Structure 1
Amino acid sequence: MSDLFDNGAAGAEPLKGPRPLADRLRPQTLSDVIGQKQVLGEGAPLEVMLSSGSLSSIIFWGPPGVGKTTIARLLAHETDLHFVQISAIFTGVPDLRKVFEAAKIRRQNGQGTLLFVDEIHRFNKAQQDGFLPHMEDGTILLVGATTENPSFELNSAVLSRSQVLVLERLDLADLERMAQRAEQDLQKELPLDGPAREALLEMADGDGRALLNLIEQVVAWKTDHKLTSIDLSKRLQKRAAQYDKSGDAHYNLISALHKSVRGSDPDASLYWFARMLEGGEDPRFLARRLVRMAVEDIGLADPHAQAVCLQSWQTYERLGSPEGELALSQAVIYLALAPKSNANYVAYKAARRAAKATGSKLPPKHILNAPTDLMKDQGYGTDYAYDHDADDGFSGQNYFPEGMERPAMYQPVERGFERDLKKRLEYFAKLRAQRGG
């Protein structure tokens, strides 16, 4: 059976019986929603849509527990649309047909349908395409929710007909407001001292639903004194950080690590390195990325950096976890503090562009080998200057194709070992100019 809920208006009568705290505290109006001012505040997209009476299809992109489902329900209530909720995890094509047919009947009777699709990125391309005709003819107003980057996970056709709104993790101030609402509903204060209360908010990791679940556990404890952070850590397990090794968190954190190394900040570099390990990232992936950093961002400013990364990788392979990660962290620190240069990277890209632009131009004949008499007659090898015969070991000859203007691709920086390479480059350029190469 599919996980398909036809809940009518958002303000329908609540179910009788015990209700979780998160359900009891669900906002009844958009003004009650905690956080998300960037989409709900004055002049923000949803406020503008509602005030103009023109609500378009929407994709909510954000982490769990920040209000995607709640806001969708309240939008239906604000616009007098019939609210239908489905989950892409449990809904198949037959279920979708039933949803669309019911929405058509509703439309014929004068009522629109707001279809909320949780985890919409779980639908494949064909299933996503199935929404398009019903969105275009007004049968449904689609509100999708996803924790993954819509740019990669949703069809361009769906995106072109929707507005993507980003919902953010709740900060500590938002979570504190939520905790205070919970205390009002429960009619009792949390039995926590100040540091323990802050630790509880940190445990939620920006997820409002997780915080309310934690609060329900805490208030159920029988205690006659306020608990400390140590007491709290003994009784509650810290919530695992949100990390998807194949999703946005993976790419966001590796980007943060790479840019912290490039920015010569060893502390920030170690922090993001540790965050990825704590999230379950494969240390071998990190080892490969460290080698890339050494090549791309340090290069010849410190030629030893690449060797340090390869040695740390080899050490990890021999030691394994967890001791091997210490070798990788050593490489992280080394890279962060190494002199930086992307001169090799820039020169390489320039060389590729030049190679593509010049097509099949031959090398100049004087640097071509002439193993046959015919090739000698054609001038191959003629007037080649053997550099070792020069007093300073430099002939200054031209090695680019004839007629090609000499480019200046490699531009070393005044940092680290490249400072010496720059002096050599300038020295050879001076000799080349003197000798007409």
Structure 2
Amino acid sequence: MADLFAPDPSPVAEVGRPLADRLRPAVLGDVVGQEHLTGPDGVLTRMIRSGSLGSMVFWGPPGTGKTTVARLLAGETGLAFEQISAIFSGVADLKKVFEAARLRRASGRQTLLFVDEIHRFNRAQQDSFLPVMEDGTAILVGATTENPSFELNAALLSRARVLTFKPLEPESVAALLERAERLEGRALPLDDEARAVLIRMADGDGRASLTLAEEVWRAAGEGEIFDAAGLQEIVQRRAPIYDKSQDGHYNLISALHKAVRGSDPDAALYYLARMFDAGEDPLFLGRRLVRMAVEDIGLADPQALVIANAAKDAYDFLGSPEGELALAQACVYLATAPKSNALYTAFKAATRTAKEHGSLSPPRHILNAPTKLMKSEGYGEGYRYDHDEPDAFSGQDYFPESLGRRTFYDPPDRGFEREIRKRLDWWAKLRRERQGK
């Protein structure tokens, strides 16, 4: 696979420039890892061929080439390139940028305005881009690591195309390191295992892989070769790393939940281990396992909640790393348990009905009559104590009379819920008989 970055055309490395900067591509075709955008039939390549660019939002993790691609787009289309960061810019800065873009347009040149971390702008600031996008003053290219659906205004999104940047595949990171070695004129002082660990540490981030490579070169003595343990000692980093406030966190917990729901204990253990390795809070994982027990298993195996809760408490008692095994045990138990969302579905349906009919009074025969007035009004009249009835079942109705009977809980014929189904069917038969229906 081709490299992410092309080397600086100068054979002499510039002193002081970071390696990642020296390896930036010179043309859009040099960018790899994003072939769906920059390849021969990529979205951006087609835009350039058509001679027309529209406003866009680049969405993807750090180190995948968003800034570089924006700069190269401007160069290959003859647009003036203007870059700002939402972290360091305010309303006054935006006004200056917009005015400069208007002056350029008046002289016949359009501006490609690249806004890094665009999700950091508040709603009003995001809205300020709309006029310059609509009248063609500037082509907006925003970059974000956050899901645009949640972080950007609908009005802005309706005027811009969202393009997704993917994390680099290991092959791309490996090729990038090879290009860095050619530029530096020396090999990375790593054995094969350590090299694989460094690629894994980058976690799809091309810039991070080059930063790690620079750290390794700085640390190496004459003739020294690092193994995997030595590499970890140098860079003091666990792998892979993700920001727990961003998409990596939510993607992995979603994958873990779906693997458990899909009864795949091996995949569930894999995602659990990845989150442990990335430094996730184990008690957060414990809480999520408890949620899985009640949402996806419920009464199909009533022990699932007991075991998940016990595992959470065991971790709290043992700490790390010993307590992680308890969470792994619960994870496998949940993945291998019979699945049912009948309780989850029933509770949602009951909640909707309660909101729609929350003003209805319960039938008077099941209400207590603590005062003579309430007794005279019929409270408690006709109530039959179930324990005094045959089979400890009276078959009375308990819903408000105007609402009538409703069925929310419909257990499947599997796991422990098979037994619950038998009970419900038996009680339904008795209810019909005792109500004369």
Q: TM-score range by the shorter chain?
A: 0.7 to 0.9
State the Cα distance separating 1:75 from its structure 2 match.
0.6
The number of residues matched between the two structures is: 427
Q: Distance in 1 between matches of 2:215 and 2:374?
A: 87
Alpha-carbon distance, 1:302 to partner: 1.9
How far did 1:65 drift? 0.9
Question: What is the CA distance between 1:235 and its match in structure 2?
Answer: 5.1
- Residue 346 of structure 1 and its aligned partner are, at CA, apart by 1.0
8 Å contact from structure 1 (residues 192, 228) kept in 2: yes
Letter in 2 for 1:393: A
Q: Which deviations, in whole Å up to 9, do the C-alpha atoms of 1:2-47 show, x marking residues without a partner?
A: xxxxxxxxx9999994343322321122111111122233554323
Any conservation in 2 of the 1:121–1:150 contact (CA below 8 Å)? Answer: yes
What 5-or-longer segments of structure 2 have no aligned partner? 1-7
SS at match of 1:392: helix
Moved more, 223-232 or 148-157: 223-232
Q: Secondary structure at the match of 1:316?
A: helix
CA positional deviation for 1:120: 1.7
Tell me how far apart the structure 2 counterparts of residues 153 and 184 of structure 1 sit (CA, whole Å): 41
What residue in structure 2 maps to residue 68 of structure 1? 66
The counterpart of 1:78, out of the listed 60, 72, 76, is: 76
**SS of 1:115 mapped into structure 2:** strand
Deviation at 1:66, TM superposition (A): 0.7
What is the match of residue 8 of structure 1?
A: none
2-side partners of 1:389 and 1:239: how far apart? Answer: 65
Deviates more, 1:394-403 or 1:136-145: 394-403
Corresponding position of 1:328: 327
How high is the TM-score relative to the length of structure 1? 0.86
Q: CA deviation at 1:343?
A: 1.2
Aligned to 1:129: 127
In 2, the alpha carbon distance for the partners of 1:366 and 1:55 equals 72
Provide the C-alpha distance between the structure 2 equivalents of 1:339 and 1:417, rounded to a whole number of angstroms.
Answer: 8
Contact 1:191 1:223 in 2 (8 A): no
Query: Could you say if the C-alpha distance between residues 100 and 30 of structure 1 is closer, same or farther in structure 2, counting changes exceeding 3 Å?
Result: same
Q: State the match for 2:346 in structure 1.
A: 347
Q: 1:167 aligns with which of 154, 165, 168?
A: 165
The amino acid that maps onto 1:254 is I
Alpha carbons 1:81, 1:114 under 8 Å: kept: yes
Whichever residue aligns with residue 125 of structure 1, its letter is R
Give, in angstroms, the shift of residue 214 of structure 1: 3.5
Could you say what the CA RMSD is over the residues aligned between the two structures, in angstroms? 3.1
What residue in structure 2 maps to residue 313 of structure 1?
312
Q: For each residue in 1:136-192, what CA deviation from the matched residue of structure 2 results, as whole angstroms up to 9, or x when unmatched?
A: 222221111111222222222222221111101000122233234334434555565
For 2:268 and 2:29, locate their aligned partners in 1 and report how far apart those are by CA, in whole Å.
Answer: 40
Structure 2 residue 211 is matched with structure 1 residue 208: no
Could you tell which deviates more after superposition, 368-377 or 17-26? 368-377
Match of 2:53 in 1: 55
Partner of residue 154, structure 2: 156
**Any conservation in 1 of the 2:55–2:140 contact (CA below 8 Å)?**
yes
Say whether the 8 Å CA contact 1:22–1:212 is kept in structure 2: yes
Q: Give unmatched runs, 5+ long, in structure 1.
A: 1-10
Equivalent in the alignment of 2:34: 36
Instruction: For 2:202 and 2:282, locate their aligned partners in 1 and report how far apart those are by CA, in whole Å.
Output: 27
Quick one: percent identity of the two aligned structures?
Answer: 61
When the two structures are superposed, what TM-score results if normalisation uses the length of structure 2? 0.86
The answer to whether structure 1 residue 417 and structure 2 residue 390 are counterparts is no
Aligned-partner Cα distance in 2 for 1:369–1:231: 74
In the alignment, the residues of structure 1 paired with residue 18 and residue 215 of structure 2 have an alpha-carbon distance, to the nearest angstrom, of 11
SS at match of 1:242: coil
Query: In 2 relative to 1, CA 34–112 (structure 1 residues): closer, same or farther, beyond 3 Å?
Result: same
Q: CA deviation at 1:226?
A: 7.3
Would the alpha carbon gap of residues 341 and 201 (structure 1) be closer, same or farther in structure 2, given more than 3 Å must change? same
Q: How far apart are residue 249 of structure 1 and its match?
A: 2.3
Structure 2 residue identity aligned to 1:111: R
Work out the CA distance in 2 between the residues paired with 1:193 and 1:311.
Answer: 43
Report the alpha carbon displacement of residue 216 of structure 1 after superposing the two structures with TM. Answer: 4.2
Residues 175, 201 of structure 1: 8 Å contact kept? yes
Q: Confirm or deny: 8 A CA contact 1:205 1:239 kept in the other structure.
A: no
Counterpart for residue 291 of structure 1: 290
Superposed displacement of residue 83, structure 1: 1.0
* Structure 2 match to 1:246: 245
Distance 1:206 1:16, change over 3 A: closer
Q: Deviations over 1:335-391 (max 9, x none)?
A: 223222211111111212223343533333433334455555554434333222222
- Answering whether residue 279 of structure 2 is matched by residue 280 of structure 1, we say yes
Residue 72 of structure 1 aligns to a residue in which SS?
Answer: helix
8 Å CA contact 1:301–1:340 kept in 2: the answer is: yes
Q: Match for 1:71: what amino acid?
A: V
Answer whether contact 1:170 1:206 (CA < 8 A) is retained.
yes
Contact preservation (8 Å) 1:366, 1:380 = yes
Is the 2:289–2:330 Cα contact (8 Å) retained in structure 1?
A: yes
Give the aligned residue type for 1:262. Answer: R
Corresponding position of 1:408: 407
Give the aligned residue type for 2:84: I
Q: CA deviation at 1:331?
A: 2.7
Change (3 A) 1:231 1:382: closer
Measure, in 2, the Cα distance between the counterparts of 1:278 and 1:393.
54
Hey, what's the Cα distance between the residues in 2 that align with 1:237 and 1:372?
A: 73
Give 4+ residue runs of structure 1 displaced > 6 Å after superposition: 11-16
Other structure's SS at 1:134 match: helix
Counterpart of 2:400 in 1: which secondary structure? coil
Distance 2:387 2:326 in 1: 43
Cα distance in structure 1, aligned partners of 2:314 and 2:225: 48
Aligned to 2:301: 302
Matches within 5 A, 1:343-382: 343-372=342-371, 375-376=374-375, 378-382=377-381
State the match for 1:96 in structure 2: 94
Q: Which moved more, 1:53-62 or 1:152-161?
A: 152-161
Instruction: Provide the residue aligned with 1:436 in structure 2.
Output: 435
